[in-house]
Structure 1
Amino acid sequence: MAELKKTVLMVHLDSEQEQLWSSALESQNLVVSCQSSAIDLVELLDSMQQSGDPIPGLILVDSGLKAPDSQTLQSSSVCQWGAKNSPALKVVLFNPRQDKIKSIEQSWAVRRGAADVLPRLNSENLVASVARVVSLMGAVLEQSSLEAIANSMPGTAPEVPPTTNYFAPIEDVDDQPEESELESESEYYEPVPRRRRKPKPGLIYRGVKVKK
């Protein structure tokens, strides 16, 4: 009996990156299921579970994906669903608006239950980024296939500044900065001394200043 291929469910906001991820993951003998950015992932997972359809082994979702008719990010709700209903499900966030992931973004995602956060794919990080997903899937890496894709890409794309802080806290008490963090930040900001205004020129007559 042929071994059942492992499935990665993806939701991207960047069509170019979606195509690149699809090609890279399919080169690793993984089944890729691309979903519309208008989908509600929790509803999809509930439907799959109720109908008895197999839950994907990993979900790769854009960190900026919002719920339909809402400004709420879907990443947190998907991680919560996985922890409650399918602990084996891995959730990896993807931020195509940055070429490097900051440590604070990494911590933000891990606290919510994500396995990792990956940056925009380019010729330099493609092998390492896809290898991370393959490792989480428990699959065997076909590095030569990834190197061929990376070599066919142009040089590293210029850094794209994020238009939205997709890792900003969303009404979460745990996201409030700790006192130690605030104290460390205060070291970089020293109070600016106020300047005293110079008195305007004039005449002094018996202790009273008279304007000219």
Structure 2
Amino acid sequence: MDAPQKLAFIVQSNRLQGLIWQALLKSQRVAVILEPGSADLAECINQIAMAGLTLPDVIILDAEASELNPYEFCRWCRDAFPKMPIFLTRFRNLEISSTERRWATQQGATDFLEGFQRDNLMSSAADNMRCILSALEHPFLDEKALLTVLLNIRRQLRAAQPALGAPSGAVPRANGHNPAVSEPMKQLESANGKASSPSEAPSLGPDRAKHDVLNDISWVTSGTAPLEGDRANSNGKASPKSLFTPPPTVATSTLPKPREADRLASGKAVRRYRGTVY
């Protein structure tokens, strides 16, 4: 049996950014657990440690999470779990200065990475994956699997542009606050955005100007469907059951003991967390 997968905790205030991180990491065979941006991350890590479960191998933390001080968490984690790498991310204000990056590393972060925007999705995805895999001591970057996921996302973006009235080549950026949207299972978030080249983009109505495809979950779930093994319909859209429904919480005391078949050649048991085997 192969060595167990690495486990990544993703904490993002923007749901879509979290799903993109999940899709990219899963393409590299890294197990992923998505946590909400409002979660008490320090308490969550403490409970995992106290329960005797395996701690995550890496944490990808949104520095813009409103209910969490990322630097305070980095300092706490550096003292409590010094070997756990933490990557801070930011997607609303992409420019991360050398001063910000240096301050983050001084507080205990491994690095400060830029989030994902459509106009730099390919390059930022490859660079971010190399940084994460290097910290995990992963052998290599599976470029073919990564490219497959990225092309699926790009394809969905192109298909969504005509519906928004955007001209070919004009790709709006998500650079505003993302209020929650109540339309279930179709769209989780929307964002205020503007075209990358205002002179090329026509004026949009109030409703269309506020909508940004980058924060529309449908094309992300379509891109991640091959990783989940879900069937897609004739339009290439993922079925509703592929929207990453979290598994139920299971008490540690009720978990079965590892079977002999679940042990590695070294004698160590296969690690599990929230239904994820890695």
TM-score by length of 1: 0.67
- SS of match in other structure, 1:18: helix
- Provide Cα deviations, 1:29-57, integer angstroms capped at 9, x if missing partner: 10001012221011111111111111101
C-alpha distance after superposition, 1:162-188 (max 9, x if no partner)? 99xxxxxxxxxxxxxxxxxxxxxxxxx
Give the aligned partner of residue 107 of structure 2: 112
Partner of 1:91: 86
Asked if the contact 1:98/1:162 (under 8 Å) is kept, the reply is no
Cα 1:156/1:58, change in 2 over 3 Å: farther
1:123, 1:156 within 8 Å by CA — same for their partners in 2? no
Using the TM superposition, give the Cα deviation of residue 159 of structure 1 relative to its aligned residue in structure 2, in angstroms. 6.9
Dislocated runs of 4+, deviation >6 Å:
none
Aligned length: 158
Q: What's the CA shift for 1:111?
A: 1.5
The Cα RMSD (Å) is 2.2
Answer yes or no: is 1:82 the counterpart of 2:77.
yes
Query: What is the identity percentage for the equivalent residue pairs of Structure 1 and Structure 2?
Result: 22
**Aligned residue runs from structure 1 range 109-188, under 5 A:** 109-121=104-116, 122-140=121-139, 141-154=141-154, 158=173, 160=175
State the AA in 1 paired with 2:47: S
Which structure has the larger Rg over C-alpha atoms? Answer: 1
Unaligned runs of 5+ in 1: 68-72, 164-212
| Structure 2: gaps spanning 5 or more residues | 155-169, 179-278
Task: Provide the C-alpha distance between the structure 1 equivalents of 2:16 and 2:83, rounded to a whole number of angstroms.
Answer: 29
Q: In the alignment, residue 136 of structure 2 is paired with which amino acid?
A: M
Q: Matched residues in 2 for 1:26 and 1:75: separation?
A: 24
CA deviation after TM superposition for structure 1 residue 124, in Å: 2.8
* TM-score normalised by structure 2 residue count: 0.52
State the distance in 2 between where 1:19 and 1:162 align. Answer: 18
The structure with the largest helix share of the pair is: 2
